[in-house]
Structure 1
Amino acid sequence: MSVAAGTTRAVVVDDSRFMRTLITKLLEDGGIDVVADAEDGVAAVDVVAEHDPDVVTMDIEMPRKNGIEAVEEIMSTHPTPVLMLSAHAEENADVTFEALDRGAVDFVTKPGGEVTSEMPRVKRELVDKVRSAAAVDLTARERTAAPTQVTRTPSAAGPAGGAVAPGSLPDGGTVIIGASTGGPNVVEEVLTGLPREAGLRILVVQHMPEGFTGRFAKRLDGRCGYEVREAQDGERIGPGQARVAPGGSHLFVDDDRADRLRLRLRGGDRLHGVKPAIDHTMSSAADVVRGPLTTVLLTGMGRDGVDGMGAVKRAGGATIAQDERTSAIFGMPKRAIEAGHTDEVLPAHGVAEGILHTLRS
């Protein structure tokens, strides 16, 4: 559903009247038109069908029908982008990721009830997330099922190579994957397509709040062949290991020695409104990584990662962007392509093969 023609229209779902009022005020102050609200999942399904909003903000724990069940029914009866509002807690991370599996497009930390100096930042983050979620192409997920053959599309920046021969693997290399809205499931698909035997060192920068990236890393660790953890300051990682940038910190590559990357976490201001920022990780890697380096920019709104990919390309590394057809939001990849920073443009299901090809070449 497009939001370009006018104001974003939202439905707010929460079992707390106070929270519905607070979220509505934050959104309306940010220029979002809240057309209706609902107190539980049952009412949410009816309200969405009646008002046909651009986006829904959805609480998780509610009576009669919880947020996960409501998402599943909305996606099957009246497909609409749903943004989950998740409490900042470890136990809520699991159900939040389950909601993404059921069709929710993104999530944001639920605002606290108290009025503090942080409220302007909370409002800005909530409004940005709602606008981003409203712009998601819900049909992109349906197009990620791999066809019999992947079409390799060269960008304006350079030609695409041939397919990786069966059983042929690169001998190591470094991979940096950046993603935002719609990214978690695609990141998982890419990592599961990279065999551990390739001996890669992988860094993932997924725009995600603090407190959720650790759980995201555990989820990836259980679903791919690599040892995946949340990155720690000063640690070194080698072949067969992957690290996820922690929410609330920027991840830098500080050194590459004896086939091991040394990682640094830093605070500082947000870049492009986000922390971690993809640009910081990619640009620092371009300066210090020895040997083959490939960077990938997946679905997401904005321009984070564009300058970082440019730095990698100038340093002689390879760059891949996800294509428009399989991107939930063709924002970051599009801007990288338009800037001439990408070597290849590939569908989600072709990215892993593309990575192996670039490193082998």
Structure 2
Amino acid sequence: MSTTAGGTRAVVVDDSRFMRTLIRNLLEEGGVEVVAEAADGEAAIETVAEHMPDVVTMDIEMPRMNGIEAVERIMTDSPTPVLMLSAHAEENADVTFEALDRGAVDFVTKPGGEVTSEMPRVKRELVDKVQSAAVVDLSVAGRRSSPPTARPQAATPGSIAPAVPASADGATVVIGASTGGPAVVEGVLGGLPPEAGLRVLIVQHMPEGFTARFAKRLDARSGYDVAEARDGERIGAGQARVAPGGSHLVVDDDRAGQLRLRLRGGDRIHGVKPAIDVTMSSAAEAVRGPLTTVLLTGMGRDGVEGMSAVKRAGGATVAQDERTSAIFGMPKRAIQAGHADEVLPAGEIAEGIVATLRN
């Protein structure tokens, strides 16, 4: 669904009148038109069908029908991009990811009720997320494959050519993604054969408190040892680390087949932290041996400069194609800048990574 010529039109769903008013005010101050509100999931379904907005902001815990059930109904009855508003707590991560599995396109932490110095940043993040969600291609975002329930021990049939080069052991892969990325990251990592012995770093734009749960999902759905990255740790072949929300992930050095990782604070870059550019650029400087970077679906230009640094350093670069990208923003800019060696659909990226190692 595309936005109208007059700008982005939104429906706000929350059982708290105060929260609905707060979200409406933040969005309208940011140039988003709020065309209607709803106080629960059942009302949301009717309101979306009536007003046909570009995007819906959806609370999770509500009476009569919760946000997860409402997302599933909306995606069936009146397909519309839904942005989940999740309480900023790790215990809410499971239900937030379930909402993504049911069809929500992204999520953002719910703004607090108090007025603080952080409010301008909260407003900017909310408005950016709403505008990004509004342009998601639902025909792509809706194609969610059922992930395996057990950790795979070998490459999935048809996803990887069987021959893994001996030189792959100890090679490094950096994957960057934003809106629409979690499901694609799961597919790519799940398609990498454990016997390749790769060292994998994942930068998914995601708030603090959710990246640890995302790492657990990836650990259960791939043959790699996946965890949220810790400052100062070293990782070797067969291990993958997810950049924590709220920190930039830096590759410090590469010795004896192991990468040393550092977490850095500092300002947001391109409005996000972790930033893909930081991890890719540091990998270009520190990694010895084969290095492949992958830029997946997402709005903006994070990762473009990082891919450029990797290409200059002699590494391989892969971008997701337009047809399978929920938002063809970051990969498009990398392709237009000439930084992508290969442009591949989501289902072929894992095989493409192994192919770069053969070459």
Instruction: Supply the distance in 1 between the matched residues of 2:159 and 2:28 (Cα, whole angstroms).
Output: 51
Contact map agreement 2:83 2:104 (CA 8 A) in 1: yes
Instruction: Report what 1:301 is aligned to.
Output: 299
Q: How does 1:12-91 map to 2 (within 5 A)?
A: 12-91=12-91
- The residue number in structure 1 matching 2:204 is 206
Cα deviations by residue, 1:61-115 (Å, 9 ceiling, x for unpaired): 0011100000000000100000000001122100000000000000000001111
TM-score scaled to structure 2, two decimals?
0.94
Question: Kindly tell me: are residues 24 and 164 of structure 1, through their superposed partners in 2, closer, same or farther at Cα, counting changes over 3 Å?
Answer: closer
Contact 1:234 1:264 in 2 (8 A): yes
Residue equivalent to 2:347: 349
C-alpha contact (below 8 Å) 2:248/2:278 kept by paired residues? yes
Deviation at 1:354, TM superposition (A): 0.4
Correspondences of 1:198-347 after superposition (within 5 Å) = 198-347=196-345
Q: Please state whether the residue corresponding to 1:36 is helix, strand or coil.
A: strand
Give the share of equivalent positions with the same residue, in percent: 80
Residue 125 in 1 paired to residue 125 in 2? yes
Number of residues of Structure 1 aligned to a counterpart in Structure 2? 345
Task: Give the letter aligned to residue 177 of structure 1.
Answer: I
For residues 6 and 228 of structure 2, the distance between their equivalents in structure 1, rounded to whole angstroms, comes to 40
What residue is the counterpart of 2:357 in the other structure?
A: 359
Counterpart in the other structure of 2:100: 100
**1:214-245 residue CA offsets vs partner (Å, 9 max, x unmatched):** 11101111111101000011100000000000
TM-aligned CA deviation for residue 141 of structure 1: 3.2
1:158 counterpart residue number: none
In structure 1, distance between residues paired with 2:66 and 2:335:
40
SS at match of 1:116: coil
Distance 1:2 1:166 in 2: 38
Letter in 2 for 1:245: A
Task: State how far apart, in whole Å, the 1-side matches of 2:308 and 2:159 are.
Answer: 25
Q: Deviations over 1:129-163 (max 9, x none)?
A: 00000010001135677xxxxxxxxxxxxxxxxx9
**Partner deviation per Cα, 1:6-54 (whole Å, 9 max, x = no partner):** 3100000000011001100100111100000000000000000000000
Seen in structure 2, the aligned counterparts of structure 1 residues 293 and 64 have a Cα distance that, compared at 3 Å, is same
> Once the 2 structures are TM-superposed, how far is the Cα of residue 166 of structure 1 from its aligned partner?
3.7
Question: Is this contact kept in 1: 2:56–2:82, CA < 8 A?
Answer: yes
Does the Cα contact within 8 Å between 1:201 and 1:238 map onto a contact in 2? yes
Task: Tell me the alpha carbon deviations over residues 176-231 of structure 1, each in whole angstroms, 9 at most, x when there is no partner.
Answer: 00000000000000000001111000000000001100111011111111010000
- Secondary structure class of the residue paired with 1:139: helix
Per chain length, whose mean CA-contact separation is higher, i.e. which structure has more relative contact order (CA < 8 Å, sep 6+)?
Answer: 1
Kept in 2, the 8 Å contact 1:164–1:356? The answer is: no
Structure 1 unmatched ranges of 5 or more: 146-162
Kept in 1: contact 2:161–2:351 (CA 8 A): no
CA–CA distance in 1 between the matches of 2:349 and 2:209? 28
Counterpart in 2 of 1:153? none
Q: 1:280 & 1:111 partners in 2: Cα distance?
A: 27
Q: What's the RMSD between the two structures over aligned residues?
A: 1.5
Change (3 A) 1:117 1:44: same
Aligned partner of residue 214 in structure 1, secondary structure: helix
Q: Give TM-score scaled by structure 1 length.
A: 0.93
Q: Is 2:207–2:246's contact at 8 Å kept on the other side of the alignment?
A: yes
SS of 1:140's equivalent in the other structure is helix
Aligned to 2:139: 139
